[in-house]
Amino acid sequence: MRRLIWLSVFAAIAIAYPLLLSSPFQQRLGALVLLYAIAASAWNIVGGYAGQVSVGHVVFFGCGAYAAMGSYAKFGLSPLFGIPGGIVLAVGLAAIIGVPTLRLSGHYFSMATIAVAETMRLIVTNTDWLGAAVGLSGPTVPRNIFDLSFLSSLPYYYLFLAILAITLLITWWMTNSRMGFYLRAIKDSERAARSLGAPASRTKLYAFMLSAALTSVAGALYAMMFGFVDPESGFGILISVKILIMAALGGAGLLFGPLVGAAILVPLEEISNSWLGGKGAGLTFVLYGAIIVVIARFQPGGLLSLFKRRGKPTKDTGASHAP
């Protein structure tokens, strides 16, 4: 009951935020927090719940972004029509990465994700059909509402809020389904879970595919809001880093962890960019690196795990011990 009250309070705040703080900067900031929260929550499904650390998650983000922009730039359709294509592409890539590596120890999975992301970035950069290094642009002037191209950030804010709610609902539903029980058992001890008949590799693969599909949607939304995508913003490692650090800072494997991480880090980055200007670009990522190292060393469960009931060892919120 108390959880329900808290939840409605937070939902009310989220709905009222852009009306109370209504400057364009604040609305844009709010929309960006929600956008990154969607991507980080999607990462959380495989990185947090399944305990498989993807360090190249941007590859799915890029699939969605390129599919959305491609559907406009190549076929003159609304970017919305690209979303299913992006999802199919992302899920297919997830299978290519996941099928061989999810049988092995988690290190192989992480290495494969980074290699695939880098491969895609190189391929896209050298493909003229996809705009090579320049990338693809969306509609400059919206033809109708389905182009989802708005000047104000307000429509994006509510769109992202709705998608985030759906993402969290799917995650919540997953944790309470059979799949969620399997994942928890596998994270505790994969060997024990296997011996009791839990299909470990397959469950992890499903989680990975679900995560890839949702990340691809986040990428499509990103491209629609910014109106373009290029190889760096679509497949660059720095987007992977942002997704990963938001989930890890807030709390990997906790439902609201990624949202908390995004709500802290997105404003931090915007502020440091506006204060430091171009000089800050490198410094922001020095800080990100330092934050990641400190989390890994001292609080692998993330910030939210500090508020969990005492008596539970914080170790359990991280991934399984490598066999």
Partner 1 sequence: MSFVLVQVIVGGLLLGAVYALFSSGLTLVWGMMNIVNFAHGDFVMLGMYVAYVVYTLMGGGPLLGAPLATLVLATVGVVVYFALIRDIMKGPMLAQILGTFGLALLLRYSVFWWFGANFLSMPQDIVGGTYAFAGLRIEASRLLAGVVALLVTLGLHLLLTRTSLGSKMLAVAEDQTGAQLMGIRPDTMQAVAWAIAAGATGLAGALIANFFYIVPTVGETLGIVAFVTVSLGGFGSVPGALVAGLMIGVIESLSGYLIGAIYKDIVVYVLFLLFLWFRPQGLMGKT
Binding interface with partner 1 (CB under 8 A): 47, 51, 53, 55, 96-97, 99-101, 103-108, 110-112, 114-116, 118-119, 122-123, 126, 237, 241, 244, 248, 252, 282-283, 285-286, 288-293, 295-297, 300, 315, 318-322
Q: Which is nearer to partner 1, 59 or 69 (CB)?
A: 59
- Give the Cα-Cα-Cα angle 288, 25, 302 (nearest 5 degrees): 30
Taking the C-alpha atoms of residue 219 and residue 163, their distance in angstroms, rounded to an integer, is 12
Q: List the one residue out of 257, 191, 270, 242 whose CA is nearest residue 49.
A: 257
Q: 136 has which bridge partners?
A: 229
* CB proximity list for 99: less than 8 A, separation 6 or greater: 205
Min dist CB 186 to partner 1, Å, is 12
Min dist CB 137 to partner 1, Å, is 24
Q: In the bound complex, what is the minimum distance in angstroms from residue 109's beta carbon to partner 1?
A: 9
Nearest-approach distance from CB 106 to partner 1, in angstroms: 5
Q: Closer to partner 1 at the Cβ: 4 or 322?
A: 322
C-beta atoms surrounding 291 within 10 Å: 17
Q: How far is the CB of 22 from partner 1 (least distance, A)?
A: 35
280 in Cβ contact with 272 (< 8 Å): yes
**CA–CA distance, 123 with 231 (Å, rounded to integer):** 9
State the Cα–Cα distance between residues 82 and 292, nearest whole angstrom.
34
Residue keyed to tokens 């928890």: 184
Least CB distance to partner 1 at residue 304 (A): 14
Using an 8 Å Cβ cutoff, are 156 and 217 in contact? no
Minimum CB distance to partner 1 smaller for 71 or for 233: 233
Identify which of residues 24 and 282 has a Cβ nearer to partner 1 in the complex.
282
Interacting residues of 201 by C-beta distance below 8 A, sequence separation 6+: 102, 103
By beta-carbon proximity to partner 1, the closer residue of 118 and 270 is 118
Of residues 97 and 221, the one with the C-beta less far from partner 1:
97
